[in-house]
Structure 1
Amino acid sequence: MGENAGNTVAQALREAAQSLGATSDTARLDAEVLMAHALGATRSEMLLRHMNAPAPGGFAALVARRVAHEPVAYITGTQEFYGLPFRVTPDVLIPRGDSEVLVEAALAARPDARAVLDCGTGSGALLLAVLSHRPDARGVGVDCSPGALAVARANAEALGLAGRVRMVQADWNKPGWAADLGGPFNLVLANPPYVENAAPLDRTVRAFEPASALFSGPEGLDDYRVLVPQLPGLLAPAGAALVEIGHAQADAVSAIGKAAGLDARLHRDLAGRARVLEFSPAA
């Protein structure tokens, strides 16, 4: 797409959506989100008030980045999750709407939770969404990436939750990683890497999102084999652990939990796919 000099916002959006058609299944939406970002307006404000205004000069560069498959959330630096705005950078996975199933399940599982642990916190989306609905709870977010922890801390600050959360660099593959976390916990949340190393992924994901947060061995199960057996030692009596899984991994991850003395309850996403296992100590 050429520069939009002289174009109105409406004209530039039409051209951008056409250019993005080969890159994105949501070309028009992508164009609108990028235009709103370029205007410094919300998408609603843009659609109501700015369609006949001149297109901003920087819009074409944003569209060019999206044409090259860069995710919209990395271009704008923000992603909404569970009704909250989150800062995202290439140091963290972009929070997905499907992961909201985990938040819903966690809030329902232990409505009186006071201590929450998030393993592999990334942007902090899961932990901060739960804490935003549990004003009496405190949380600990763990990640092995300093870059991710910086993003999570910034999100906690921006959402007014910094006083109730601690972000800690730790690696569940290393002995003693949980010694200083202050457990046990009523809720443990985890969205570990679970993609098979050779899985075919959209270029938007494989080329831009952090591989360390995506891939987990030839079956996508390596991190479950390490983390799930450690859950009983992290949970308070009657605690629950909510773990996101790949759509075909429910049986395999449930079996790992059973071997560790955990019962599993499956939660499905809106499309009916297996999405979250809720683990609790076996009766």
Structure 2
Amino acid sequence: MTSTTSTHPILVRTIRGVLQEGSMQVGRFEAAVLLAHVIGKRREYLIAHDDEELSDESVLRFQMLVSLRLAGTPVPYLTGRQEFFGRNFFVDDAVLIPRPDTEVLVEQTLVVAPAAPKVLDLGTGSGCIAVTLALEMPGSTVVATDASEKALVVARKNAEALEAAVEFRSGSWWEAVGDETFDIIVSNPPYIREDDEHLKALGCEPITALTSPENGLADLKAIVAGAMAHLNPNGWLLLEHGYDQGEAVREALLEAGFAAVHTKRDYGDNERVTSGRRPN
């Protein structure tokens, strides 16, 4: 029987038996996400259509994705999408996979932002922060920068797909904005120590977007050092950082002259986003 005519029930014979191999396991949820991707449906579709059939070609594609997942490739890189703030964003291995904790950065920005603000997102990556802010704040002006041209390709693709008005610029930190000033500056910069043991689990993601010298603080400090000159009076700087870096970031902001410095915890109760306001 050829691959164009041979068929298989969706869940019972397809997912069962391929969920575990060696020491790495693909759970049923991830397997369902991969299978839904193969057939071009939402995961919930599989639950309601358990008796539908798949061609041999679809089964082979699914098994290939499972093999890649077993080898360590994250599911979002296999499906090319990741949800962030209720929207689907395209991702590939040129950018970090958006995390739920980064939504805290967006939420805190929405709390302090004035009406129709001018916003700068430094190191935009997939564009998830810049695009989300542009869509959540009608009338805002959003500029997003990144030193990686490959990342900017992904970010522009997301802005276009979600119909968000974002201006993208190439450059490392302050290079792309000259002496321009903003009402809000946000960033989720590299902040992991270069010797951090957790990097082993992040091997598929771009290392330059993950690690920073000086115990992970170098890029955070570089942003803080230049932020005051790029903020309008009463403008806010909001930074995502590591769970154990809150105190260091607060000290850097206070030393730079920021007021109202405070830290917001993430959904795991870890210090995650620290912000400060430029005085009048």
TM-score by length of 2: 0.90
> In 1, distance between residues paired with 2:255 and 2:176?
22
> In 2, distance between residues paired with 1:34 and 1:103?
28
Structure 1 residues 273 and 245 mapped into 2: Cα distance closer, same or farther (>3 Å)? same
Structure 1 residues 61 and 203 mapped into 2: Cα distance closer, same or farther (>3 Å)? farther
Question: Counterpart of 2:36?
Answer: 36
Counterpart contact for 2:148–2:170, Cα < 8 Å: yes
Counterpart contact for 2:185–2:236, Cα < 8 Å: yes
Paired positions, count: 270
Question: Counterpart of 2:3?
Answer: none
Structure 1 residues 120 and 30 mapped into 2: Cα distance closer, same or farther (>3 Å)? same
Instruction: After TM superposition, list the pairs within 5 Å mapping 1:15-164 onto structure 2.
Output: 15-19=17-21, 22-24=23-25, 27-54=27-54, 56-57=58-59, 58-161=61-164, 164=165
2:190 corresponds, among 188, 193, 197, to 193
Structure 1 residues 84 and 78 mapped into 2: Cα distance closer, same or farther (>3 Å)? same
Structure 1 residues 147 and 210 mapped into 2: Cα distance closer, same or farther (>3 Å)? same
Residue type matched to 1:223 in 2?
A: D
Alpha-carbon displacement from aligned partner over 1:126-159 (angstroms, at most 9, x marks no partner): 1111111111111111000000000000100000
Structure 1 residues 187 and 165 mapped into 2: Cα distance closer, same or farther (>3 Å)? same
Counterpart contact for 1:122–1:148, Cα < 8 Å: yes
What is the aligned-residue RMSD (CA, Å)? 1.9
Structure 1 residue 69, shift from structure 2 partner? 0.4
Alpha-carbon displacement from aligned partner over 1:7-50 (angstroms, at most 9, x marks no partner): 4221222223334x8435x7121101100001110111222124
Percent identity for Structure 1 against Structure 2: 35
Residue type matched to 2:157 in 1?
A: A
2:271 corresponds, among 274, 278, 281, to 274
Counterpart contact for 2:234–2:279, Cα < 8 Å: no
Counterpart contact for 2:120–2:185, Cα < 8 Å: yes
Question: Counterpart of 2:236?
Answer: 240
Counterpart contact for 1:113–1:187, Cα < 8 Å: no
Moved over 3 A (4+): none
SS in 2 for 1:13: coil
> In 1, distance between residues paired with 2:70 and 2:226?
43
> In 1, distance between residues paired with 2:19 and 2:85?
27
Query: Which ranges in structure 1 are unaligned for 5 or more consecutive residues?
Result: none
TM-score by length of 1: 0.90
